[in-house]
């Protein structure tokens, strides 16, 4: 079969006009038939083709015309390959950093514990601020009970003083800000724990540890 293919290829070359340095192309049509020629017919321009050497070795691959859908699919495939390559590079870089930074699992755990302790201390401080703010707001609400508060609920009482209302709004905004900060710190702690767990697991793999 191989000899027959070689014979057909040589016969096809022999049928081409003799021209020193002329390119020889090979392409497959929609019916799966292989063609050879020193030029590409217009109707075959949509097919992929190869430039061959005198010995029939493919020197270059030339893409045929693409539909918009094909171009979009190929562009997406290139993006996927680029993302895979970037992810491989990130993994390799992470491995290099792990091996060059730590000598043992214990070192990673010590750093993890220090980072978590610092984060926990910040969390406790935020919780303390929140507790004080809640106490202050309750105190302000107790004072506001002597006035028409919420406005329009007690017409027989004097209106809420502007300075008291402003302080209540300010304390309430502070409560919301600290609550948001507290939620962010808790999420950060979970993410930090997961990251160190991944690092420890990967370090064990690289070092061949159980």
pLDDT digits (tens, 9 = 90+) for 137-152: 999 999 999 998 888 7
pLDDT (0 to 100) of residue 2:
35
The DSSP symbol for 104 reads: S
Ranges of each domain in the chain = 17-62, 66-101, 103-207
Q: Read off the pLDDT of each residue in 120-126 and give the average, rounded to a whole number.
A: 95
Q: Is the dihedral of CA 97, 100, 104, 109 positive or negative?
A: negative
Mean pLDDT of the chain: 83
Yes or no: say if 126 and 179 are a contact pair by the CB < 8 Å rule.
no
pLDDT digits (tens, 9 = 90+) for 79-88: 999 999 999 9
Strand partners, 27: 35, 49
Higher pLDDT pick, 209 / 185:
185
* Full strand arrangement of the beta sheet holding 24-28: 34-37, 24-28, 49-52, 58-62
pLDDT (0 to 100) of residue 22:
58
pLDDT (0 to 100) of residue 81:
93
Q: Predicted confidence band at 96 (pLDDT cuts at 50, 70, 90)?
A: very high
Q: Predicted confidence band at 37 (pLDDT cuts at 50, 70, 90)?
A: confident
Yes or no: say if 147 and 159 are a contact pair by the CB < 8 Å rule.
yes
Task: Please check the confidence at residue 19 and state whether its pLDDT lies above 70.
Answer: no
pLDDT (0 to 100) of residue 144:
92
Higher pLDDT pick, 56 / 13:
56
pLDDT (0 to 100) of residue 163:
93
Nearest to 36 by CA among 46, 25, 21: 25
């Amino acid at each position: 079969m191989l000899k027959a293919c070689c014979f057909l290829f040589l016969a096809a070359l022999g049928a081409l006009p003799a021209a020193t340095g002329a390119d020889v192309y090979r392409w497959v049509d929609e019916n799966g038939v292989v063609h050879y020629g020193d030029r590409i017919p217009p109707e075959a321009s949509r097919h992929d083709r190869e430039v061959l050497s005198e010995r029939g070795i493919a020197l270059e691959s030339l893409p045929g015309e693409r539909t918009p859908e094909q171009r979009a699919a190929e562009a997406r495939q290139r993006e996927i390959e680029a993302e895979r390559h970037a992810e491989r590079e990130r993994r390799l870089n992470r491995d290099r950093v792990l091996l060059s930074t730590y000598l043992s699992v214990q070192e990673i755990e010590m750093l993890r514990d220090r980072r978590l302790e610092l984060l926990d201390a910040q969390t406790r401080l935020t919780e303390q601020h929140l507790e004080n703010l809640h106490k202050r707001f309750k105190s302000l609400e107790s004072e506001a009970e002597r006035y028409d508060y919420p406005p329009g609920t007690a017409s027989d009482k004097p209106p809420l003083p502007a300075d008291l209302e402003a302080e209540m709004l300010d304390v309430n905004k502070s409560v919301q800000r600290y609550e948001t900060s507290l939620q962010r710190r808790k999420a950060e702690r979970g993410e930090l724990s997961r990251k160190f767990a991944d690092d420890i697991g990967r370090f064990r793999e690289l070092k061949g540890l159980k």
